Structure 1
């Protein structure tokens, strides 16, 4: 279903983001992300140089290599277009993400290693959604290979990470009842801290 017709308007800016996933010959996985920002008009930058129409203001790429446990084994970063030469200082800190695991705590791991002035805002944004692209690449392919080999699906004993994190994957909803009936109505165990009695001193 298309969006409603817009009001009269003028196209000014495009941010294009693309993610791609690859199975390597050595059994590892490459997940790549690319982002660019362009304007539909030319303008003069703060340093006096001219930016012709369509010239990227930001043009950045990241490749992570992950293993079967979704742990980053290698990372490569390119910043072909940046507003300032100093932006290139954001490349080297990306190596701190080697050894991090895609999954719970991923956003916190990025923030701890690259948050604030320790990294580049746009690289952080691109890196965060690489995790989703990795899951979309790795797990459907694994499941396909198991089906082609005649291997029965593994019966999950713990709810998959995505259950309860989306309106469609509501554990009280119809989708979970169809695909994960063993977790229908499931709720996470909430750990309550013991109450500390007030000090008598």
Structure 2
């Protein structure tokens, strides 16, 4: 059997909802899946964001059982976005009774939200303070955001 082309598309949108809340909308589309996820984050402190609302849906899934992990999405509400969140999201939504696609979608949405919020906040600060904020939150994630000197 020859492997056929299998396209998968993620779309993530980050939108300000008010002066402190940020919306995250993520969609995953491929021939077998159509998943959507919405988060509302309290971003009043970019170093201590919290998931205020979480919901997800599956308009298309390969098997009926795939929708069962959707029942646990609400358990993300109240989580602080901090080190170890991937482990927590995986425990709640992944593993043998979960859905790896939900985990991936939530993590990509959270990752982009962190970057967007921190960059916007840092642009409002004096340059040196903005650089410190980016270093504390994003330091080490890529070449553009090196670890702060004290962490190396």
TM range (shorter): 0.7 to 0.9
- Count of matched residue positions in the alignment of Structure 1 and Structure 2: 144
User: What TM-score, normalized by structure 1, do the two folds share?
Assistant: 0.62
SS in 2 for 1:108: helix
Rg comparison, structure with higher value: 1
CA drift at 1:167: 4.2
* Partner of residue 18, structure 2: 25
CA RMSD, aligned part only? 2.5
- The structure richer in helix per residue is 2
CA drift at 1:153: 4.6
User: What TM-score, normalized by structure 2, do the two folds share?
Assistant: 0.80
Q: Which consecutive residues of structure 2, in runs of 5 or more, have no partner in the other structure?
A: none
CA drift at 1:132: 1.3
* Partner of residue 152, structure 1: 126
* Partner of residue 58, structure 1: 33
1:166 alignment partner, one of 138, 142, 149: 142
- Please say if residues 10 and 28 of structure 2, whose CA atoms lie closer than 8 Å, have aligned partners that are also in contact: yes
- Please say if residues 93 and 118 of structure 1, whose CA atoms lie closer than 8 Å, have aligned partners that are also in contact: no
Q: Deviations over 1:50-76 (max 9, x none)?
A: xxxxxxx10001111000231000011
* Partner of residue 29, structure 2: 36
